[in-house]
């Protein structure tokens, strides 16, 4: 979420998706779309031109470089050491204790402009965190597990570096660790053809609208990115803000079925907002800030006494009616915590059923960021998380027979990965500091592609800024969609604008040839076609 400044990155392998582009005429008002929210807020800005993503010349060449840490210039508390055995070269570097100058820079002379694997060899006496930047752009964090100070490797795959001198920086951490060396090797897999995606919904009951939306996402996979925006409430202030600045609405409206933890779901006003957005030709997305049952109803693990592990049961309760479950609870066959979870799931399912009756598909992202452990649904570990995810999936799709859900797994940790027949889309939430370049986040994209074996649609479900259309194209890391968070990330804390991107960058992403906005999607939805945009077959 917005308080999450970075995403932990593990070793990744990937395949690539090539981009197709076209040229589309920009309409200043969405065709076939009338906004009930912006009657007094019509776009009156300058004529907007479509932005064409830039191409970068790639020169594939075999490269294998090894740079020893002890041969670099040392800053701050950094010093060379030989105490820990198993190092390469003449020693290693330690002293990463959190000082402002406790960082190590490798100057890598790169012979060809292409994508590389960067491997860091490091060790620590206790669990420690570090991060890696390339040319002052953070490519991700790493975690060194406590392992008797043995040197281990962490690899980042698919990092673009241009010909010439490139800087690879290992950043400070207050707990300290040792760095032995880095390796840089060219990666060939990123330029290979991707696997064929299966666009069939995982839900056993599914509507034409669900199948059609998934087919649309599949056809545009690797080519175009669907724009999305989180709405803080049912008034859609954020969506109108974007239209007023760019002349375009996002295609996806993301909301929270419980009002971001403020109320018990389902919220009627959120269901109505979703219905209105669908009527405009848009795509509906929902998440759930699920407040834990009990005396301290918080989403945060450290603010509630509720433990998911206390609710886990070996009983198959997903297909049992609520009256029978209540009787099982009275008999002590299941715990009150278990019953409370099912009652909450049922309430959300009944709300979604009202949208199902109207044929409205939902991009449904439950139990977000479970692997981070800051929410109660992830704090009890991966097995408890997967038990709850499976309970919800089976309850909603088999007991309630909901046929309008597109399931998103957002566990952010491969140990929390659910079975592939339980999710349609895999996604990441990525937040960076406002002074950091967001780029394409290709390292996270490639990690997620590795985890899902290249079989799933990949999405950027939450972000502090939007990915660069140029870098996504260059890095073969075209996210299916993005969901920008609200408040400071879009309008700024005072309403004066975001500090994470400029207004010009906002106009660029919404008027780029390889992004999909509401007017464009609604034309496809109504059967029209746009050059360069892949319609469903």
Asked whether residue 264 falls in the same domain as residue 325, the answer is: yes
Domain membership flag for residue 415: yes
Asked whether residue 165 falls in the same domain as residue 264, the answer is: no
Asked whether residue 131 falls in the same domain as residue 216, the answer is: no
Domain membership flag for residue 54: no
Cα gap 102→82, rounded to integer Å: 19
Asked whether residue 438 falls in the same domain as residue 292, the answer is: yes
Domain membership flag for residue 347: yes
Task: Look at residue 149 in the predicted model and tell me its pLDDT.
Answer: 77
Domain membership flag for residue 423: yes
Cα gap 333→329, rounded to integer Å: 6
Q: What is the DSSP letter of 479?
A: -
Asked whether residue 285 falls in the same domain as residue 174, the answer is: no
pTM of the model: 0.85
Asked whether residue 181 falls in the same domain as residue 237, the answer is: no
Burial category of 156 from C-beta neighbours within 10 Å (exposed 0-12, middle 13-18, buried 19 and up) = buried
Q: Residue 334 is part of a domain; what is its CATH number? A: 3.20.20.80
The tens digit of pLDDT for each residue in 163-191 reads: 999 999 998 766 788 999 999 999 998 98
All residues at 6 or more sequence positions from 535 whose CB lies less than 8 Å from its CB, including other chains: 216, 219, 524, 529
Cα gap 506→512, rounded to integer Å: 10
Asked whether residue 509 falls in the same domain as residue 368, the answer is: yes
Domain count of the fold of the chain? 2
Domain membership flag for residue 55: no
Cα gap 80→90, rounded to integer Å: 9
Cα gap 286→533, rounded to integer Å: 25
Residue 3: count other Cβ atoms within 10 Å of its Cβ: 6
Asked whether residue 175 falls in the same domain as residue 229, the answer is: no
Where does a domain end: 158, 187, 216?
A: 187
Domain membership flag for residue 25: no
Asked whether residue 327 falls in the same domain as residue 438, the answer is: yes
Q: What is the DSSP letter of 300?
A: B
Question: How do beta strands 64-68 and 128-134 pair?
Answer: unpaired
With H, G, I as helix, E, B as strand and everything else as coil, classify residue 225: strand
Query: Do the beta carbons of residue 507 and residue 245 sit within 8 Å?
Result: yes
Where does a domain end: 119, 154, 187?
A: 187
Domain membership flag for residue 79: yes
Q: Residue 164 is part of a domain; what is its CATH number? A: 2.60.120.260
Where does a domain end: 141, 156, 187?
A: 187
Query: Do the beta carbons of residue 155 and residue 12 sit within 8 Å?
Result: yes
The range of the structural domain enclosing residue 74 comes to 64-187
Asked whether residue 247 falls in the same domain as residue 111, the answer is: no
Asked whether residue 272 falls in the same domain as residue 155, the answer is: no
What's the token pair of residue 315? Answer: 């009983």
Per-residue pLDDT of the chain (537 residues; tens, 9 = 90+): 433 333 333 333 222 222 222 332 222 233 334 343 344 445 556 667 788 888 888 999 999 999 999 999 998 889 999 999 999 999 999 998 878 888 999 999 999 999 999 999 999 888 888 889 999 988 888 888 776 678 999 999 899 999 999 999 998 766 788 999 999 999 998 988 888 887 899 999 999 999 999 999 999 999 999 999 999 999 999 999 999 999 999 999 999 999 898 888 889 999 999 999 999 999 999 999 999 998 889 999 999 999 999 999 999 999 999 999 999 999 999 999 999 999 999 999 999 999 999 999 999 999 999 998 899 999 999 999 999 999 999 999 999 999 999 999 999 999 999 999 999 999 999 999 998 889 999 989 989 999 999 999 999 999 999 999 999 999 999 999 999 999 999 999 888 889 999 999 999 999 999 999 999 998 876 555 554 555 554
Domain membership flag for residue 349: yes
Task: Look at residue 527 in the predicted model and tell me its pLDDT.
Answer: 54
Cα gap 481→504, rounded to integer Å: 20
Query: Do the beta carbons of residue 445 and residue 477 sit within 8 Å?
Result: yes
Asked whether residue 303 falls in the same domain as residue 451, the answer is: yes
Residue 323: count other Cβ atoms within 10 Å of its Cβ: 8
């Amino acid at each position: 979420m917005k308080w999450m400044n970075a995403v932990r990155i593990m070793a990744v392998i990937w395949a690539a998706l090539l981009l197709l582009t076209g040229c589309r005429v920009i309409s200043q008002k969405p065709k076939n779309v009338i906004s009930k929210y912006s009657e007094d807020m019509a776009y009156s800005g300058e004529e907007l031109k479509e932005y064409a993503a830039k191409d970068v010349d790639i020169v594939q060449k075999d490269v294998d470089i090894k740079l020893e840490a002890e041969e670099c210039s040392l800053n701050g508390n950094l010093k060379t050491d030989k105490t820990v055995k198993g190092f390469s070269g003449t020693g290693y570097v330690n002293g990463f204790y959190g000082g402002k100058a406790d960082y190590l820079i490798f100057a890598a002379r790169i012979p060809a402009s292409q994508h590389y694997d960067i491997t860091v060899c490091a060790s620590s006496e206790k669990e420690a965190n570090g991060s890696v930047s390339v040319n002052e752009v953070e490519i991700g964090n790493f975690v060194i597990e406590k392992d008797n100070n043995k040197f281990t490797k962490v690899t980042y795959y698919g990092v673009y570096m241009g010909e010439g001198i490139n800087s690879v920086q290992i950043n400070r951490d207050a707990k300290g660790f040792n760095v032995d060396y880095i390796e840089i090797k060219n990666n060939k897999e990123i330029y290979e053809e991707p696997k064929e995606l299966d666009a069939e919904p995982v839900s056993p009951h599914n509507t034409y609208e669900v199948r059609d939306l998934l087919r649309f996402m599949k056809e545009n996979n690797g080519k175009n990115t669907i724009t999305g925006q989180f709405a803080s409430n049912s008034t859609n202030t954020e969506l109108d803000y974007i239209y007023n600045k760019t002349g375009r609405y996002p295609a996806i409206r993301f909301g929270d079925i419980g009002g971001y933890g403020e109320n018990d779901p389902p919220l009627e006003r959120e269901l109505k907002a979703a219905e209105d957005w669908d009527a405009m030709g848009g795509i509906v997305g929902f998440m759930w800030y699920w407040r834990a049952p009990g005396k301290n109803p918080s989403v945060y693990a450290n603010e509630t006494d509720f433990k998911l592990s206390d609710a886990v049961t070996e009983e198959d309760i997903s297909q049992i009616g609520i009256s029978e479950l209540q009787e099982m609870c009275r008999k002590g066959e299941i715990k009150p915590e278990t019953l409370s979870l099912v009652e909450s799931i049922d309430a959300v399912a009944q709300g979604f059923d009202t949208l199902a009756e109207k044929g409205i598909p939902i991009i449904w992202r439950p139990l977000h960021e479970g692997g981070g452990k800051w929410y109660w649904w992830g704090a009890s570990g991966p097995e408890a998380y997967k038990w709850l995810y499976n309970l919800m999936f089976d309850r909603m799709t088999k007991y309630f027979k909901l046929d309008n859900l597109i399931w998103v797994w957002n566990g952010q940790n491969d140990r929390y990965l659910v079975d592939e027949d339980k999710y349609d889309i895999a996604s990441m939430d990525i937040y960076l500091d406002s002074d950091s370049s967001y780029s394409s986040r290709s390292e996270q994209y490639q990690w997620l592609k590795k985890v899902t074996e290249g079989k799933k649609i990949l999405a950027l479900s939450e972000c502090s800024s939007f990915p660069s259309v140029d870098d996504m194209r260059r890095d073969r890391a075209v996210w299916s969609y993005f969901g920008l968070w609200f408040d400071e990330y879009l309008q700024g804390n005072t309403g004066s604008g975001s500090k994470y991107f400029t207004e010009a960058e906002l106009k660029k992403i919404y008027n780029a040839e390889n992004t999909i906005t509401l007017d464009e999607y609604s034309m496809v939805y109504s059967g029209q076609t746009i050059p360069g945009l892949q319609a469903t077959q």
